Amino acid sequence: MKTKANTLTGQVLADLLENVVAHLSSSASECFFSPARYKAEEKNVKNAVLSSVELLGIDTCIRYGCFLKLLTEEAVNDLMLLMMHMKSFLSTQRASSSSTLISQQDGYLGHDWLTSTVFLLLTGNRDRSLNLLLNLSSLLTSAFIWPARIHTSVHFPQEVSESGVSPVYWCTAHYVEMLLKAEVPLVHSAFRMSGFTPSQMCIHWLTQCFWNYLDWTEICHYVCTCVLMGPDYQVYLCVAIFKHLQPEILQRTQSQELQVFLKEEPIWGFKFCNYLDFMLDLERSYRNVVLTDMKNIKNPVQ
Label residue 5 by pLDDT band (50, 70, 90): low
Q: Give the mean pLDDT of 258-285.
A: 95
Tell whether 299 is covered by a domain: no
Check whether residue 175 and residue 125 sit in a common domain. no
* Sign of the alpha-carbon dihedral angle for 130, 149, 113, 234: negative
Tell whether 302 is covered by a domain: no
Label residue 300 by pLDDT band (50, 70, 90): low
- Rounded CA-CA distance 148/207 in Å is 9
Which of the two residues, 5 and 46, has the higher pLDDT score? 46
The predicted structure's pLDDT at residue 2? 58
Q: What is the 3-state secondary structure (H, E, C) of 213-271?
A: CCCHHHHHHHHHHHHHHCCCHHHHHHHHHHHHCHHHHHHHHHCCCHHHHHHHCCCCCCC
Q: Give the mean pLDDT of 239-253.
A: 97
Check whether residue 69 and residue 99 sit in a common domain. yes
Tell whether 38 is covered by a domain: yes
The predicted structure's pLDDT at residue 44? 72
Check whether residue 203 and residue 141 sit in a common domain. no
Check whether residue 61 and residue 202 sit in a common domain. no
- Rounded CA-CA distance 148/48 in Å is 15
Tell whether 301 is covered by a domain: no
Average pLDDT over all residues of the chain? 88
- Rounded CA-CA distance 112/58 in Å is 9
The predicted structure's pLDDT at residue 3? 53
Check whether residue 143 and residue 179 sit in a common domain. no
Kindly tell me if the per-residue pLDDT of 121 is higher than 60.
yes
Q: Give the mean pLDDT of 40-49.
A: 75
Kindly tell me if the per-residue pLDDT of 259 is higher than 80.
yes
Tell whether 162 is covered by a domain: no
- Three-class DSSP category at 139: strand
Q: In which domain, by residue range, is 220 found?
A: 167-294
Kindly tell me if the per-residue pLDDT of 79 is higher than 50.
yes
Tell whether 300 is covered by a domain: no
pLDDT digits (tens, 9 = 90+) for 94-106: 766 655 554 444 5
Check whether residue 264 and residue 188 sit in a common domain. yes
Domain boundary among 110, 128, 157: 157
Check whether residue 25 and residue 136 sit in a common domain. yes
Check whether residue 13 and residue 108 sit in a common domain. yes
Least confident of 11-25, 76-90, 122-136, 148-162: 148-162
Check whether residue 11 and residue 138 sit in a common domain. yes
Check whether residue 178 and residue 148 sit in a common domain. no
**Whole-Å CA distances, 226 to 4, 50, 107, 232:** 19, 28, 25, 7
pLDDT digits (tens, 9 = 90+) for 166-222: 888 889 999 999 999 999 999 999 999 988 899 999 999 999 999 999 999 999 999
